[in-house]
Amino acid sequence: MAMNASLITPVLLFSMDSDQFWAAPTTTGGLKAYYQQYGSQVDNYQIELIHFKNEDAILRWQQSWQETYLPAIKAAEQAGQQAIIGFSMYTWNAAEFLDIIHQIKAQCPNVLCIAGGPHVQQAEDYLGEDPIDIIILGEGETSFQEILDTPQRIHWPNINGIAYLENGDIHKTPERQRRKYLDELPSALDVIDLCDAEGKPLYDSISYETSRGCPFKCAFCEWGTGAIGSKMYQFSMDRVRSDWHKIVNAGIKDIWLADSNFGALKEDLEKAQLICELKEKTGLPSSFATSWSKKHSPRVQEIVLLLHKNGLLPHYQLALQTLTPLALELSNRQNMAANKYEPIARQMAAEGVPIAAELIWGLPGDNLAEFENNLDQLLKTFPNLNIFAYTLLPGTEFYEKRLEYKIETIPVAGYGKAKGEYVVACHTFDRDEGIEGYFLITAHILFAHGHLIPLAIRYLALQNGITTAPLLRTLLRAVCVEYQDDLPNLDLQDRMVVYENRATIFTCILKNPLRLYALFETEIIRYLQDTNNGHLSDATRHILSLDYALSPRCGEATKANYEFNFNAVSSKAALDCLSLPSAADLSPETHQVLCVKSPGGVGTILKDPDGGAWLRGEIEYQQADIQTVKILHPNVKPTQAIQ
């Protein structure tokens, strides 16, 4: 049936950010821009981008749906048109979007529902179970354009790269070949309003891709497989330069790259130079983040140091994922040898570069004992360590081999397949061991990553004969007992409840820092005595007092003086450089009074331990006697401590 040109057909494209970021809708914007340039029925469609910041925005939209969108779709249907809804689906929004899809299809069963994105590449999990009509497999721009040009079912077999139900069976059309010349894609920024009527930026950040593809085929990841593909293609520098000028001219403060391996391509250095030039001329962007190349090449190091020098590097992360040989083998990964990454980590830490390593708990082939050894090794080597729980995602090799590897899962936050599945057991670790691993990484996230006792953990990790994993779990169990009455709605004896509610626990325990750190001191000293390490007790108390002074705080920004009966400045500098403080540093003969500036904000600005380092306290160094002690960076040991 030919479309009725007398009425504009509504096309609603939905996207949603993750909890932490408010970015422009570049995925759906790219679809709209592509159709406006290449579509044959442009005048017959009204394509609207509906972009949600969070779940509250969805609730507000529900009223608009009833008052505006539903009547428009009904009117189009009465005129013989078929309205179209499309969803850009990722792990963080799939549950919410499935709810919206069910709602819309219940009220408008004839609307054409299209879904695309990494989370729906396993079409079998959705078609027939959820009221989705078409799933786009792989790159979506051309498939989306062809669907809009020929939306009738009779034409679907002629559209490559889609999946749909045919007589109750899933039919997949031939694979759509990836686009090699990315400049053929119009910019999403051509159709997205970046500023309001007063010229103020509408978004905090932009998620931007300068390249597509990933040369690695990690079994746990959607990159390199599924919607992304293995060969890397990139946009021209002219295109990148034009878009980045638009972004900074709009006043958007952060650029987050969606590239899989930044630094792997020789042009990436030129991109880094461009972003630094923009920062120097305009003051923007404020920060620039990306997923780094899995290989630390000289080019990568040059880019990292350049961005750091220009204040654009929130972190540089070495994606090790695991050090366990079998887990590496099954994951199709091969890490650089320890004798290569250890000097890199120490050199960058000494230069003040915020370098971090990444670990994943729950990969098939791993086990808790080896994971604990890996944790100890990396705590000695990297100033920062990011640990993630492995979530089994559709479209990955491990997802396809879940029976072979005897993978057991539980739903993420109760949403089942919509938000992925926690891996709690497989052929190399049982369920109790798997859940204990979640408990361990919760302890690390709270106490180290949340910046509660990072220096004490590092100090003990650097000692010979101390294993940090049992201590971390001991501390978390003590916290669960101490604060159970403060959190009566949570069963803190359930380890997965503790993991899933770590943000609530974090903000709760920081309401009274004195109570929390008294508990830390009691439990750590007891642990040292029980493990025949009591000789470290006095020094550990010193380091704990420094952690206390620098920990994130509730309330408003404050300045406070803290007294230390040891050389706190020199001890912190040594630990920041991944070295043990000297005996002289820890001697009680030194007395220091340091002013610490705390930004506050726990429970308001900061609601999650993942951001602990962003709102930690900072020492304000002062003039000492006649000589001014200049601290070039916290990792650079001063020539004279402030007495």
**Distance between CA atoms of 304 and 316, rounded to whole angstroms?**
7
* Same domain membership, residue 28 and residue 157: yes
pLDDT given for residue 19 in this prediction = 64
The answer to whether 360 and 339 are in contact (CB under 8 A) is: no
Using CA atoms, how far residue 594 sits from 542, 547, 566, 612, in Å, is 14, 13, 12, 21
Same domain, 56 and 141: yes
* pLDDT band at 627; cut points 50, 70, 90: very low
* Alpha carbon distance 616, 547 (integer Å): 10
Residue 228 is predicted with a pLDDT of 59
| Structural contact between residues 561 and 595, judged by C-beta atoms closer than 8 angstroms | yes
Which domain-ending residue is among 172, 187, 216? 172
Whether residue 229 is contained in a domain is answered as yes
CATH of the domain at 146: 3.40.50
Q: Based on the domain organization, do 21 and 153 belong to the same domain? A: yes
Please give the full DSSP string across 92-106, using - where no structure is assigned. TTHHHHHHHHHHHHH
Residue 512, SS3?
A: coil
256 shares its domain with 143: no
**Residue 319: what pLDDT?**
82
Contacts of 410 (CB under 8 A, 6+ apart): 421, 422, 424, 496
Residue 533 lies in a domain: no
Other CB atoms within 10 A of residue 399 CB: 21
Task: Return the structure tokens found at 545.
Answer: 């007092």
DSSP 1: -
pTM of the predicted model as reported, rounded to 2 decimal places = 0.85
Crossing angle of helices 537-550/568-576, nearest 10°?
Answer: 90
- Residue 276's Cβ-side half-sphere holds a number of Cα atoms within 13 Å equal to 17
Residue span of the structural domain in which 33 resides? 9-172
Q: What mean pLDDT is predicted for residues 386-391?
A: 92
Asked if 474 contacts 530 with a C-beta cutoff of 8 angstroms, the reply is no
Confidence of residue 419 (pLDDT cuts 50, 70, 90): low
Report strand pairing: 627-628 vs 287-289.
unpaired
Lowest mean pLDDT among 246-250, 500-504, 624-628: 624-628
Q: What's the residue count for the chain?
A: 643
Q: Are 385 and 457 in contact (CB under 8 A)?
A: no
Tally of CB atoms within 10 A around 413: 12
pLDDT digits (tens, 9 = 90+) for 478-513: 999 999 999 999 999 999 999 999 999 999 999 999
Least confident of 113-117, 118-122, 388-392, 616-620: 118-122
Sort 346 into a burial class: Cβ within 10 Å, 0-12 / 13-18 / 19+.
middle
Cβ pair 458, 578 in contact under 8 A: yes
Assess if residue 355 is contained within a domain: no
Q: What is the pLDDT of residue 337?
A: 67
Residues 168 and 219 in one domain: no
Q: Is the pLDDT of residue 414 over 80?
A: no
Query: What percentage of the chain exceeds 90 in pLDDT?
Result: 72
Answer whether residue 639 shows pLDDT above 60: no
285 preceded by cis ω (within 30°)? Answer: yes
Looking at the structure, do residues 161 and 218 belong to the same domain, yes or no? no
Quote the percentage of the chain above a pLDDT of 70: 93
Q: Residues 20, 105: one domain?
A: yes
Residue pointed to by tokens 């000028």: 245
Report CA-CA distances (Å) from 300 to 50, 215, 260, 293, 357: 37, 16, 13, 7, 15
More confident residue, 310 or 319: 310
Contact 319, 358 (CB under 8 A): yes
Q: Where are the alpha helices (DSSP H) in 317-461?
A: 325-330, 338-350, 368-381, 397-400, 431-444, 454-461
Give CA–CA dist 151/144, Å, rounded: 10
Residues 37 and 146 in one domain: yes
Contact 449, 457 (CB under 8 A): no
CA 79 distance to own-chain centroid: 45
Q: Reply yes or no on whether the pLDDT at 169 is more than 80.
A: yes
Whether residues 212 and 287 fall in one domain: yes
Task: Please name which of 393, 414, 419, 428 lies closest in space to residue 496, comparing C-alpha atoms.
Answer: 414
